[in-house]
Amino acid sequence: MVNVGVEVERKAQDGDTTGVVSGDGTPVTRQITDTDVDQVRITVGTPSLFFAKPDGDVEGAKIQYKIEIRYSGGSFTQVGEEHTISGISRGLYQEKQLIVFDPNGAFPIDIRVTRTHARYVRPEGRTLQDDFIWYDYTEKVLEKTRFPNSAVTGFKIDAKQFPNVPTRSYRIRGIKVRIPHNATVRSDGSLEYDSSTPFNGTFKAAREWTNDPAWILFDLLTNTRYGMGSQILTPEELEEDKAGNFEGASDVPSNLDVYSFQQASAYCGEQVTVSEGALSSICLQRASADTGRRLQVNSGNVLCIQGNAFLGSWWHHCCPGCA
């Protein structure tokens, strides 16, 4: 379960979207009154920026400014360092600055932008373009949204490096399952059992990822959300599961023989040598289940498919109706 912030953008109202910031130190101030707002992104810039000499040569100019914030009943404090725009721009240049509000700050909140570098003195015969404008601002509400039982990913990319949205691919291992107390997950996903610690019918306290077919099948048989747990567990076990209490190391469904699953798992995880030619061989696990269930199908069919992935005779003994 994760919480993901969703941005709800609100543009400034018409008639309150521009403000020329004076070069004499007079600031432009905006007030935020909506108590749901968590952040504000302001857009500042200049229509053009340059010094033009009478002979046609062009030189760069500079704008420096600071951003300050004031919560209700308080005084203005500067947000971050001073910002600088410098160089030559024949056309519109804009940049955005993000202001994050203190969760404990009181509304209304005032934001002001002040030009800190005095405007250049315009020599006779020269053209100076260095107007500084606060163009607009966007109020942002971070909405806490739950995505239960989901894997959520997101990232930001630089448009300068990626002119088009790049193709993404993800390696998805899948759901973590319960594994025996004396099992360790190998690098290939199979399980290795500690021969000095016999299996006593209990599980580890925390779930782990594995591609072991036996315990994946066990999970499908016992899970009440995506498996057959509602039909396998007893009424008492279902009540404990509903309360989130049927996940302990010793919580084992009475209708399933966990020792048979452990024997099947040990067989699946046994390392076997496979020849790759006259001069080489590799060691692999006997059976694995690197699969993903992407389609909505009958749960019984899923169990048959999973069971047939390993130990066919053992599975048909448990489920004689599966083909």
Q: How far is CA 287 from the centre of its chain?
A: 33
Residue labelled with tokens 């291992």? 173
Residue 4 and residue 179: Cα distance in Å, rounded? 30
* 113 within a domain of the structure (yes/no): yes
pLDDT band, very low/low/confident/very high, at 300 (cuts 50, 70, 90): low
Q: Are the C-beta atoms of residues 299 and 227 closer than 8 Å to each other? A: yes
Q: In Å, how far are 192, 267, 312, 322 from 262, measured between CA atoms?
A: 11, 9, 16, 22
Are 108 and 237 part of one and the same domain? no
Q: Phi, psi (5° rounding) for residue 33? A: -110, -20
pLDDT tens for 102-154 read 999 999 999 999 999 777 666 666 788 888 999 888 888 887 677 777 777 87
Residue percentage of the chain with pLDDT more than 90: 39
Is residue 292 scored above 90 in pLDDT? no
Provide the strand spans (E) within 107-156. Answer: 109-115, 127-129, 133-146
**Mean pLDDT across the chain, nearest whole number?**
80
* 166 within a domain of the structure (yes/no): no
Are 269 and 205 part of one and the same domain? yes
The pLDDT, as a whole number, for residue 267 is 87
Residue 209 and residue 292: Cα distance in Å, rounded? 13
pLDDT tens for 171-185 read 888 889 999 999 999
Based on the structure, what is the number of domains in the chain? 2
Are 216 and 83 part of one and the same domain? no
* 162 within a domain of the structure (yes/no): no
Residue 314 and residue 323: Cα distance in Å, rounded? 13
| CATH assignment at residue 98 | 2.60.120
Per the structure, the complete domain to which residue 117 belongs is given by: 3-146
* 178 within a domain of the structure (yes/no): no
pLDDT tens for 188-215 read 889 999 999 999 999 999 999 998 989 9
Bridge partner residues of 58 (DSSP): 52
Neighbours of 120 (CB within 10 A): 14
Q: How far is CA 74 from the centre of its chain?
A: 36
Is residue 298 scored above 70 in pLDDT? no
Are 78 and 198 part of one and the same domain? no
The pLDDT, as a whole number, for residue 206 is 93
Pick the last residue of a domain from 146, 164, 191: 146
Are 7 and 124 part of one and the same domain? yes
* 164 within a domain of the structure (yes/no): no
Pick the last residue of a domain from 118, 146, 174: 146
Give the sign of the dihedral formed by CA 201, CA 207, CA 212, CA 217. Answer: positive
pLDDT tens for 13-59 read 544 445 777 767 789 999 999 998 999 999 999 999 998 888 878 88
Is residue 320 scored above 70 in pLDDT? no
Which stretch of 78-82, 149-153, 246-250, 316-320 has the lowest confidence by average pLDDT? 316-320
The pLDDT, as a whole number, for residue 117 is 79
pLDDT band, very low/low/confident/very high, at 222 (cuts 50, 70, 90): very high
Which stretch of 57-71, 74-88, 96-110, 118-132 has the lowest confidence by average pLDDT? 118-132
